[in-house]
Amino acid sequence: GAVVSQHPSRVICKSGTSVKIECRSLDFQATTMFWYRQFPKQSLMLMATSNEGSKATYEQGVEKDKFLINHASLTLSTLTVTSAHPEDSSFYICSAFPQPWGEAFFGQGTRLTVV
Amino acid sequence: SQQGEEDPQALSIQEGENATMNCSYKTSINNLQWYRQNSGRGLVHLILIRSNEREKHSGRLRVTLDTSKKSSSLLITASRAADTASYFCATGRETSGSRLTFGEGTQLTVNP
């Protein structure tokens, strides 16, 4: 089956630094990928839609200058959390669809802790 | 924003019992999907049901969809301790491309 790989799985960083999270589709091309944020014991909140070769579409309330998304190839999207603060600590997950209107495949998630 | 609501929020049962989780949504959909998430992990797809389908089975899973009531249910039969996880429904809408909107989730605990 399709595989989406997300890296790193865990990262601890200091306040004020930036962190990059990668999401790769390993055996299919993804013109669109999705980035979610999840707080403990809560559901997934869509942050942005990553579009290959064009600007990402951000959900209302998500700061585009804080959460930079780059989708430079058909198999890779990156989310960079800039100038991270402790309140950015969360679980970030990406997903992609091998087929339109089909099932989504998710990365393993990244646990970000900002100290 | 989350358009789906799931109930119960938490469910605790004994091994061998059946578990039923419900999901309601607000807008018209193309499909509804159920996912499972173990603590601290990514989501795993369980089953997809399209808007023109009423019921689907996969192993010990049975999903129903009632578009008139805008609701779906997930039944897990003969539950096992390994079924302990969070379960989410997600809807795909015609106007949103492949984008999914997730429900609040049900935390299922199966006690051995």
How far is A17 from chain B, CA to nearest CA, in Å? 24
* B99–A105 C-beta distance less than 8 A: no
Which of helix, strand or coil describes residue A5?
strand
Statement: residue B2 has pLDDT above 80: no
| A9-35 per-position pLDDT tens digit | 999 999 999 999 999 999 999 989 999
Beta-carbon contacts below 8 Å between A and B:
59
Statement: residue A105 has pLDDT above 90: yes
Q: Taking a C-beta distance cutoff of 8 angstroms, is the pair A89, A110 a contact?
A: no
* A91–B98 C-beta distance less than 8 A: no
Chain A residue numbers touching B44 (CB-CB < 8 A)? 106
Q: Which residue is closest to B41 within chain A, CA to CA?
A: A108
* Res B96: pLDDT: 65
Strand partners, B63: B56, B74
Provide mean pLDDT across the span B22-27.
92
Which residue among B42, B48, B100 places its CB closest to the CB of A108? B42
Q: Report chain A's terminal Cα–Cα distance, integer Å.
A: 37
Statement: residue A1 has pLDDT above 90: no
> H/E/C letters for each residue in A11-51?
EEECCCCCEEEEEEECCCCCCEEEEEEECCCCCEEEEEEEE
Average pLDDT over chain A, rounded to whole? 94
Statement: residue B95 has pLDDT above 70: no
